[in-house]
């Protein structure tokens, strides 16, 4: 395997979805190539952060129940009355309803990639040459990657990456003062309506075509995120 092939299969390797013979080829290359080994270490650290964010344990409601039962006991109530039981039930339900809802890994992956790779400019092997970018885009049969952005934005650079442990094309567009990301991958699920969600300081939007799935990430507003998404959707 060469460095470019390692870059392409890295998401599957890290997700443990790569065939064993290919894994052996990856390990052999990493043992000889310091640059690829360091990049793989960075990607492993990123995946670890994502797993921590996605798999974080939900708040334990037993503490709420224990406090309520303690207060009832302090009042020397011999048995839990129907009213007290209803209060307890409502309190626990209210507590569970107010806890943060988990965000799909697809969105957390895209938001974190955009934050680290675009906003914080962490080192990555970007392709800036238009011919190289078009070769990457051709894998997804994109007619013209530069046309996905709204007026005033230009395609800056691109590379292969992984979101949800699956390969995706990461395209970055800029108007000189603001950048946004579009992640393109083969469609993997059922059809969804264009929508946007907030993941930390980023806004993320998703839409699908009959073949592709596109995820847009930006540090701008929800309206801007949806504008980028609609522009890409109309081009696809």
Same domain, 123 and 43: no
Q: How far apart are the first and last CA of the chain?
A: 33
Q: 72 lies in which domain range?
A: 62-98
DSSP assignment of 22-87 equals: HHHHHHHHHHH-HHHHHHHHHHHHHHHHHHHHHSPPPPPTHHHHHHHHHHHHHTT-SS--HHHHHH
SS3 12: helix
Same domain, 85 and 26: no
Same domain, 49 and 158: no
Same domain, 91 and 196: no
Beta pairing class for 202-208 and 154-163? unpaired
Same domain, 86 and 157: no
Same domain, 198 and 135: yes
Same domain, 109 and 194: yes
Same domain, 133 and 153: yes
pLDDT at 157: 95
CATH number at residue 172: 3.30.200.100
pLDDT at 87: 61
Same domain, 94 and 113: no
pLDDT at 79: 52
pLDDT at 101: 46
pLDDT at 218: 94
pLDDT along the chain (236 residues), means of 10: 79 72 85 85 71 50 57 52 55 49 78 91 88 90 88 93 88 93 87 82 90 92 91 89
Same domain, 75 and 37: no
Same domain, 79 and 14: no
Same domain, 127 and 212: yes
Domain total in the chain: 3
CA angle 97, 101, 107 (to 5 degrees): 165
């Amino acid at each position: 395997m060469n460095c470019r092939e390692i870059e392409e299969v890295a998401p599957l390797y890290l997700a443990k979805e790569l065939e064993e013979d290919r894994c052996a080829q990856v390990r052999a290359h990493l043992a000889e190539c310091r640059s690829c080994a360091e990049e793989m270490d960075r990607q492993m650290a990123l995946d670890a952060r994502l797993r921590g964010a996605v798999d974080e344990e939900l708040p334990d409601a037993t503490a709420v129940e224990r406090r309520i039962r303690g207060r009832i006991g302090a009042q020397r109530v011999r048995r839990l009355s129907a009213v007290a039981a209803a209060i307890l039930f409502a309190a626990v339900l209210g507590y569970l309803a107010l806890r943060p809802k988990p965000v799909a890994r697809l969105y957390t992956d895209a938001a974190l990639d955009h934050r680290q790779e675009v906003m914080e400019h962490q080192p990555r092997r970007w392709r800036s040459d238009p011919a190289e970018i078009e070769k990457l885009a051709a894998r997804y049969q994109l007619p013209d990657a530069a046309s996905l952005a709204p007026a005033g934005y230009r395609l800056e650079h691109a590379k292969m990456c992984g979101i949800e442990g699956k390969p995706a094309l990461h395209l970055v567009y800029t108007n000189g003062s603001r950048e946004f990301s579009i992640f393109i991958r083969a469609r993997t699920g059922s059809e969804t309506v264009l929508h946007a969600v907030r993941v930390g300081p980023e806004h993320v939007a998703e839409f699908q075509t009959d073949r592709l799935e596109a995820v847009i990430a930006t540090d701008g507003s929800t309206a801007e995120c949806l504008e980028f998404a609609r522009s890409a959707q109309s081009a696809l």
